[in-house]
A = this chain, B = another copy of it.
């Protein structure tokens, strides 16, 4: 039986563009994982893999026009956004190369023998080693930054872990192009091309997570798909870490004072954030707590005006469009929900952004209204109007985990007068990133970034963006009484590589 074909589809028309590949069989997955496994040795040198990451960035940049064109044809995200996303992806690859060079991620700790400890301490030297082959599950909504050469791949390669990427069906042709770039970059540094494998197909993704030589996985996608893979990872004879980013409501709290101060600016800012990329960001603000009363009314009017004036957009695929239309319709039907701007279909392929409002007290009792506490992927946000602080607290207490939580404060509150610090503390348990007077869309690549949060935002305490994302793919190992002559240079007293480390308890940098 021939393997199922993989088609590239134009979301602007719903029509097939070309057959890109075939879905990977179990044998294909096995071959890809074995080839990746064999690339561990060549990837072990830090200098080599830093150079590999930089070459990959350079080659992606050199091929920008073709790659952006291919991405736009499959995703309809538009050349401007995609050009920016590709630049971000290259920046990210180079940032991880810098991290590899610095070496702090090896987390070197050296203890000389100490007979005064209880029990006595022998010579102990610990650092982190790569886990092995990492399975990477591409996201639909970031064809560059969270896909074949995205953050999971970049951080895994930086850690010394080869990858096998499961392509997202929304951009299979682009996935092939980017994988080819990675293979070319690898070859230039004498690394086998299998270091970055690519497979297509849902079943292949399931085979991949079950493969005995796969040691960890990174995932960006839906709660349903992510949870199924998380469960499969946990059910293996040898369970493996599954770092999945599944879903997030990204609540925003607007204080009464903030609404009074700048209702129009907040409404306009919110409109921009929730419609960015046709609402297809994992950090799209999906629930906004706005005070009842005149200032809140102004905010909602400003939001509605801006959203109402937003051009229709095309979602990543038609299944997503169907889900969006069903999701907003189901929400709009709930008692007490109004639609100052009704989200919905625009022709056969596009959608219109919209705003739903609901009294906050409707969200505190459970039942059908709990649907409003779930992410709805696409350009819609739910504005919950609160009568007092107790309603805010009640709604916050019912929220699932989030990637981000945002508070809009007045200038006085931001300066420390009033409840600003308390609100920050109240939002902290809800999310991995807490913003003040900003919008959650736009996740910077930086050492201090944390893109993760309590379940279902992520399935672990890790981040998929920022310097510490590399930690996901390493495990510590300690050497006891190993003579210097046998130790890797990273663990020698004289520190020939100049690594930051903890040496006899003292931090050395």
Contacts and interface: CB of A to CB of B under 8 A. Distances in A.
A478 B448 contact: yes
Interface in A462-509: 463, 466-468, 474-483, 485-487, 500, 502, 505, 507-509
A502 B102 CA distance: 13
A228 to B, nearest CB: 13
A2 interface: no
Contact of A124 (B129, B446, B475): B446
A126 B483 contact: no
Nearest to A113: B444
Given A436-B486, A461-B475, A509-B508, A122 B444 contact: yes
A447 B119 contact: no
Contact of A477 (B433, B478, B480): B433
A364 to B, nearest CB: 18
Contacts of A482: 424, 434-436
Interface residues of A, number: 83
Contact of A450 (B126, B449, B460): B126
A117 B445 contact: yes
Contacts of A109: 447-448, 467-468
A216 to B, nearest CB: 9
Interface stretch (A164-172, A388-396, A415-423): A415-423
A498 to B, nearest CB: 12
Nearest to A107: B468
Nearest to A406: B480
A81 to B, nearest CB: 11
A426 to B, nearest CB: 12
A483 B442 contact: no
A191 interface: no
Given A431-B477, A434-B480, A505-B447, A119 B416 contact: no
30 contacts: A84-B119, A87-B118, A109-B448, A109-B467, A110-B448, A117-B445, A119-B444, A119-B445, A121-B446, A122-B438, A122-B444, A126-B448, A131-B461, A234-B234, A234-B239, A238-B454, A431-B477, A432-B476, A432-B477, A433-B478, A434-B477, A434-B478, A448-B502, A449-B478, A450-B476, A450-B478, A452-B476, A454-B475, A461-B476, A508-B509
- For the complex of A and B, the 9 pairs showing the least CB-CB separation, nearest first, are A416-B485, A234-B234, A507-B509, A450-B478, A461-B475, A124-B448, A109-B448, A91-B118, A126-B448
Given A104-B507, A109-B468, 15 more contacts: A111-B448, A111-B449, A117-B444, A118-B445, A119-B442, A121-B445, A124-B446, A231-B234, A239-B455, A420-B483, A421-B486, A433-B477, A435-B482, A436-B481, A463-B476
